[in-house]
Structures are given as C-alpha cells and as structure tokens.
Amino acid sequence: MNESPQTSDEVLAAGTAQDSGGQVQSDSAIVHDHADDRKQLETFKAILALHGVALFELADDTFLATKWNLTRPLRDLHAVASFVRQIGGAM
C-alpha cells in the first residue's frame, strides 16, 4: 500500500485527539507559557507572605525564601511549590 505524504494539518493533528463534541484537544503543550509560571510565582509569593516568608527570584533563576535570619534556597518553581506545601500554605 502506497501512503501519500502527510499534509501539515495531518502532522499537527497527529498529536491531538477529538472529544465527543468534535473539539480538538492537544495531548501536550508545544510551547511553554511563561505567563502561567509568572502567575504561579506571584501566587506562591502571596501565600508565603501570609506566613511571614519573603520569596526572592535570583539572577540564576533560582529562588530564596527568607524569614527572620533563616534562608532556604529553592532550585526551581517546583521546589517553591513543595516548600509552600511544607509550611502549610494552601494552594
């Protein structure tokens, strides 16, 4: 059987599925939305502030949580989320 080359629409649709309403749903994000990260970071800052903790974003894209004379380095946004859960912050 000889298959014809896929069109660009077929290539794009290969990573998607349709729900019962005919809407196309993507299986995975192709482009990372940094606006969502920024929103999540601001949410974490607010939650931590309610617990008296300041969160700083450092030049090397890591984070530093501080309270009084205590500090905790956090390597990424996932580590920040874990820290928020650890101190009892609701997410």
Tell me which residue range forms the domain holding 19: 8-86
Does residue 2 belong to any structural domain of this protein?
Answer: no
Which of the four pLDDT bands, split at 50, 70 and 90, describes residue 37? Answer: confident
Q: Percent of the chain at pLDDT above 70?
A: 60
Distance CA 16, CA 23 (A): 10
Does residue 1 belong to any structural domain of this protein?
Answer: no
Averaged pLDDT for residues 24-51: 77
Does residue 68 belong to any structural domain of this protein?
Answer: yes
Supply the pTM of this predicted model: 0.60
Does residue 3 belong to any structural domain of this protein?
Answer: no
Does residue 79 belong to any structural domain of this protein?
Answer: yes
Query: pLDDT, tens digit, for every residue of 61-87?
Result: 999 999 999 999 999 999 999 999 998
Residue 72, pLDDT score: 96
Residue 11, pLDDT score: 41
Q: How many C-beta atoms surround the C-beta of residue 67 within 10 A?
A: 13
Number of domains observed in the structure of the chain: 1
